[in-house]
Structure formats: C-alpha cells, structure tokens
Amino acid sequence: MDEKTINELKEKIPQIIERQKESYISFLNFIEFTLKPNENKIKDMYSLVLPDNCDFERLVHSAYRNTEIINNIIQKYSSIIDAIDESKNISGQYLQLVFNTLNQSSIIRKIKSYLGGCINWYNQIIHDDIDFQAKNGFINNLFNLLNQTENIESIEYLQLAQIYAFKYFSNPDKNFVIIGANGSGKSSFARNSKVVLDKNVAIIPAQKLFVLSRIDSVSLGNSSREHLWSYQTDDKLCKNLDFARALEQDLQNVYRSLVEEQNANANEFFENHKKGINCQREETVLEHVISIWNEILIHRKLEYNKGQLIVSIENGERKYDFMELSDGEKAIFYYIAHILLSKPNSFIIVDEPENHLHLALVIKLWNRLERERTDCRFIYLTHNLDFATSRVNAEKLWMKSYAPPAQWDIERLPIDDELPEILYMELLGSRKPILFCEGTKSSLDYKLYTRLFPDYTIIPAEGHLQVISYTRAFNKSSNIHGNKAIGIIDGDFHTDEQKNRWKKDSIFCIDVQEVENILCDEELLNACYKSFYANEEQLNQAKELLFKNLKQNMEVQLLEYATQTINEYLKANLIDKPKTEEELKENFKTLLDNSSEYIDSLIKQRREDLNTIIENKDYSLGVCKYNNKGLIGIVPTVIEKDYKDKIFIFLDQHPEILDMLRKKYFADIPRF
C-alpha cells in the first residue's frame, strides 16, 4: 500500500471513531438524563403504545447493564487512535482492516438513527403531554433502540475483537512469537491474521508428511513455483480431508519447484554457451537449500545427482537415499526449501517450528533462515518456551484465551531484566498463585514447600535476593497475567526492620534461620520417631546433639551473626551527601569510632542468647536460632539414618503434621 493511501486512512479512521464515540456518549447521556429519571412515566407510555409487549423492564435493565460495556468500547476506540498516533511504521493492511470494520458497523448507524428519533419525539412530548403520535413515535424508536443495544456486546465486541487482537501486527517490521497452550487459539489467530498482513503470506503447518519420489520430468517454466506459492498461502492450520491430501503432496511440490528451477537454470546456461555468451552459472535455489542443510547437519552430506537427493556420512563411503533420513533431517530440508522459495517480503507463519527436531538444531536452523530471508517477517506459533526465548529480537505475544469465532485475549510480554523471560513464560500458564522460595528443584526447600503449600505453584529461585527480585517483578506486571506472587526466604539473621519492609512487597522472612531446620522440629520428631522404629532414648539423644553441636560451633555462629548484622546496619546507615570534605570525614569517623563497641555488644548479646538456649535445653528455640543448613544431617540421624529422604514419606502420610508446621512457622502466609 502506497504512503498516500496510508496517510489518508490515518486521517479518516480517527474521524470515524470520534463520530461513533459521540453516538455512544449521546446514548449514555440519554440513559442517564432521560430514561432513568423518567422511567415510570416512560413505562406508562410503553404500556399505552405497546400493550401486548412485556419487554420494557428487561430491555431497560439490559440498557443499564450495557452502559459499562459501552464505556469499555469507548476506551477501546481511544486506544486504537492512540496506537495509530504512536506507531511510526504502521501496516497499511492493518489500517485498512480498521477502516473497513468501523465503516461497515451497522449497529452504530441504527443506534444513531433510533436515538435521534427518541430525542425528537421526546422533545415534542415535553411540550404536548397528550400528543399520542409523539408518544407512539418515541416508544417505537425507544423499543428499536433498546433492542439494538441489548446485543451490543456480542456484535460490537466481535467487530472490535480483530482490530484489538491484531494491533500487535500493526508494525510490520518485527518477527513475532505467539506462545500459548494447545487449544488457546494460536492457530486460529494466525489463520485470521492474513487480513492484516500482506497477500504474501506463507503458512508452514505443524503436521507434515515427508513423502518424496523421484521426478523424471519437469517443465522449464514456473508452474510448480506458482502452484507452491498458492499452497503456501492456503489455510493449513486446520485439519480436514483436503488438508490431509495436500500434506501428502507438500514435500513433493517443494522438491518439484526446486528441480524445475534447477533445470531451467541449467538450460539457460547451456543456451547461452551455445550462443557463445560467456557467463558464470548462478547458484540455484536447490543448491542453496543443500548448502544450508549441510551447514546445519555437519556430519551428513546431501547432494543432488541425476534427479536424486543422495546422502553420505562424513567420509562419503556410505550413501543412501533421502527418504532413509530421519523425520528431523527431512524436516530441516523441508523448512529450508519452503523459506527459500517463499515470495519476496513475505510473512511466514510457522506452526510449531520445533516439531521433529532437537532444540539445539531448531535454534541453529531458524537463526540461519532468519539471516537468509531478512526481507521476510517470521511469525512462530509455539508452546515450547525454550524456543520462544531463543527468538531474542522478536515480539513475544501470549495467547491467554480464545472464544470463537474471533475473540482472542492477547498480551504482549513485558521486557523485564529482573525476571528471566523463560521463567516468566512458564508462570503465565499457572492458575495458582506463585510462591518463590530459595533453593533448586532438587533441594529440601522445594520438597518441603510443595507439601506445605499445594495451593501455590512453587518456583525455587536459588538465593534470597533472587526471591525478592522475582516476586517484585512478577507482581509489577499483574495487570498482564492477573496473578499474584509471594516470596519466602530464610531468617539468615535478617533484622525485624528489614523483614517488615519486605513484607510490604509480599516477601515473608521465616523466624527459622534455615528452612531445613523445620524438619528437625521437636513436635515433628516426637510424632515420627516411632515410625522409624526408634525409641525414646534415641529421641532424647537426637535433641542433645543440637545443644552439643551448637556449643561446638558457638564462635562460628557469633561471627556469622555479627557479620550479617553489621552488613545490614551499614546498608541502612549509608552516609548522606555531605556539604563539605570535613563533614564527610566526620561522618565516617563517627561510624568507625562506634564500630568496636557495636561489634562487642552484638557478640555479647548473641552469646548470652545461645548460652541460655543450651543451659535451658530449649530445643524449639535452638532449632530457630541455630544457623546451620546441615543440622538435618546431624540431629535426626540418631532416629533414622536416611531421615532426610524418609521424613517426606512420613509427611505425605500425616497431613495433620504439615498443618501443624504451617501454623507454627508460616502463620503470615496467605492461603487461597
């Protein structure tokens, strides 16, 4: 589409939208200032003019309900204008879709007509309350008006759905990745997207049948290429009998096009040579396809010889036919050929590009093909998050849901350096709230949290800083995914002030220094020791080990506590911007002068606290205050040598113990 037409559409569309917004606003004003204040009076007129029609109350209440829908429609109209104004390189096809959809809207014309009739007749009624003709005209127009607006959601929303859904394709200079679960509407969206893309659309389906036979004769024209282009444009994102038949011929048609072009090139070169024209033979598309295939699969060599595709392994000693290749190897040839044969400046829609292929090969292949066809734009439909993440320069769209025939709920994924893209995409599919915790999927943290909080999706994030960062980042984009996240981190000597600050961001710091210590809980040991065939003496020995180990590691505990507390103190007491050099020196000196006394007081107080635990044999407090991830490998092994593994079997069999641990250590964690 030429620039002049695009500019004309950019001028016309806002004008149409403003006129339609005015009609809707007039309707809302009529409801608010005429219908509502005079509902009883109008109801009496309705009964007089249409005595056999009992729909008045239903239609009126429907109109009241639809005011919110109409306000949403007005907002969507405004967002369309904003998108057009803000886009520097908007697609002409998208503008044409918007213009046609808005211009063909019949409901708005009818609303405007019936509303005008209502207002005119009502003004006459105000001047002459006994004018039956005016009442008749008013009520009939009102009846038609309310009937039109009753179904406004299904009619107008449907018309706006495509405009709104395809706004992401309004900029034609980007590649796209559409992610979503099977059945979320990716294929139907891509199929319908042809209305906003150019006529040069090539669709590569997910389902493929790799059937190839020798070609004995081909024409020297372009008939096969024309046939292939027609096939590429066809809707192949659905399943029917014609589609199945087309699939059987797909690879054969691609191959025929390649061979046809190969022969035409050879014939042209031969004719030029006969005429004495000295020219260099250009590389054919088939030769280029083979070259890229050999580049992707370095341990195989593909060649075209006497009408056949022959494959050899490394040294070329063993040769075999193309059809003996694996589906993945044939798929690579198929993809390369389709992409190289696509029309210039095409939009290439690839459904499930990862099919039949190992991820590393998929990434290598599509990186290479994108470099090869920089004139084209690629639209990938996938539910493979690793592949989606690999498209670093593509716009990522999340297909949340789909309601036939044309309502897609689509969101653009935000760019957020704090939350890894692949993790973000993984979390989009969760219907449960998210709980970020420390550790990995093989750690005790994850095993414990999945049992304590089955109503959450548990995501281990390694360290506490990642938990904090991920929780904040995920909640920051809640307007997109509509979900919420919390974070739980270990005590690790964090101060109460810091814990309270984190809590405001839905990050909860437990009172236990290490979450693994919860598995050494006194009530838990008392409940499980008999199940492990231990006796009471062994139970008491296990508890004594905590005090013994704490006493042995006292100095290490004191230094760890003091170091962590000092670090947090320094972060909280950073020197403000001084006005002079002397002020800076004085502030720094004050910090240093107080440091020795501060450290002494920290260690003294902590030593007293830990000694009190040991002297009073306060096992429960010891479990909370002892900062030792290895405690679970020391204390309960007296009861059961493989306690670390078997305790989870016990917890699975005793949900009441899990409930006790939840109430004891996680009382602040919200339940859903």
Give φ, ψ of 510 to 5 degrees.
-75, 160
Q: What is the pLDDT of residue 489?
A: 93
Q: Other CB atoms closer than 10 Å to residue 479's CB: what's the count?
A: 8
pLDDT tens by residue, 32-73? 999 889 888 888 888 888 877 777 888 888 888 888 888 888
**Per-residue pLDDT averaged across 279-286, rounded?**
80
Q: Is the pLDDT of residue 159 over 70?
A: no
Tell me the three state secondary structure of residue 119: helix
Q: What is the pLDDT of residue 477?
A: 80
Mean pLDDT, rounded, of the chain: 82
Domains of the chain: 3-170 (no CATH), 175-279+325-412 (3.40.50), 520-641 (no CATH)
410 and 165 in contact (C-beta within 8 Å)? yes
Q: What is the pLDDT of residue 190?
A: 73
Q: What are the helix (H) ranges across 514-654?
A: 522-528, 536-552, 554-572, 581-615, 619-625, 643-653
What share of the chain in percent tops pLDDT 90? 22
Q: How many residues does the chain have?
A: 672
Pull the structure tokens for residue 332.
């690579």
CA distance 626 to 517: 8
Q: What is the pLDDT of residue 146?
A: 87
Q: What is the pLDDT of residue 223?
A: 54
CA distance 42 to 49: 10
Amino acid identity of 576? D
481 and 399 in contact (C-beta within 8 Å)? no
Residue 663 CA, distance from chain mean position:
34
pLDDT band at residue 201 under the 50/70/90 scheme: confident
535 and 509 in contact (C-beta within 8 Å)? no
Cα–Cα separations (whole angstroms), residue 182 to 185, 209, 237, 239, 350: 8, 21, 13, 14, 15
CA distance 435 to 446: 10
166 and 172 in contact (C-beta within 8 Å)? no
Amino acid identity of 180? G
Q: What are the helix (H) ranges across 234-326?
A: 241-274, 285-296
CA distance 195 to 457: 39
Q: What is the pLDDT of residue 599?
A: 83
Give φ, ψ of 488 to 5 degrees.
-125, 125
CA distance 289 to 337: 6
Among 119-133, 224-238, 336-350, 551-565, the range scoring the smallest mean pLDDT is: 224-238
- Side-chain-facing half-sphere of 285: CA atoms under 13 Å: 23
Among 118-132, 159-173, 213-227, 465-479, the range scoring the smallest mean pLDDT is: 213-227
Q: Is the pLDDT of residue 618 over 90?
A: yes
CA distance 408 to 406: 6
Of the ranges 132-141, 227-236, 297-306, the best mean pLDDT one: 132-141
Q: What is the pLDDT of residue 271?
A: 60
Tell me the three state secondary structure of residue 646: helix
Pull the structure tokens for residue 191.
């199929």
Q: Is the pLDDT of residue 339 over 70?
A: yes
pLDDT tens by residue, 520-571? 999 999 999 899 898 999 999 989 999 999 999 899 988 888 888 888 777 7
**Per-residue pLDDT averaged across 360-378, rounded?**
92
Q: What is the pLDDT of residue 172?
A: 63
Pull the structure tokens for residue 585.
């020196």
Q: What is the pLDDT of residue 241?
A: 43
pLDDT tens by residue, 221-274? 555 555 555 555 655 544 544 545 555 667 778 888 888 887 777 666 566 656
Among 37-46, 149-158, 651-660, the range scoring the smallest mean pLDDT is: 149-158
Smallest CA-to-CA distance from 672 within 381, 313, 432, 488 is with 432
Q: For the chain, state the CA radius of gyration.
A: 36
Q: Which residues contact 501 (CB under 8 A, 6 or more apart)?
A: none
Q: Which residues contact 595 (CB under 8 A, 6 or more apart)?
A: none
Please tell me what DSSP assigns to residue 317.
-
387 and 353 in contact (C-beta within 8 Å)? yes
Angle between helices 3-30 and 92-103 (to 10 degrees): 30
Cα–Cα separations (whole angstroms), residue 656 to 453, 637, 651, 662: 13, 23, 9, 10
205 and 247 in contact (C-beta within 8 Å)? yes
**Per-residue pLDDT averaged across 177-196, rounded?**
76
Please tell me what DSSP assigns to residue 282.
P
CA distance 621 to 608: 14
pLDDT tens by residue, 499-528? 899 999 999 999 899 999 999 999 999 999
362 and 158 in contact (C-beta within 8 Å)? no
Cα–Cα separations (whole angstroms), residue 533 to 232, 529, 538, 638, 641: 70, 7, 10, 11, 11
DSSP state string for 540-572:
HHHHHHHHHHHHHTHHHHHHHHHHHHHHHHHHH
Q: What is the pLDDT of residue 209?
A: 62
Q: Is the pLDDT of residue 219 over 70?
A: no
CA distance 236 to 494: 58
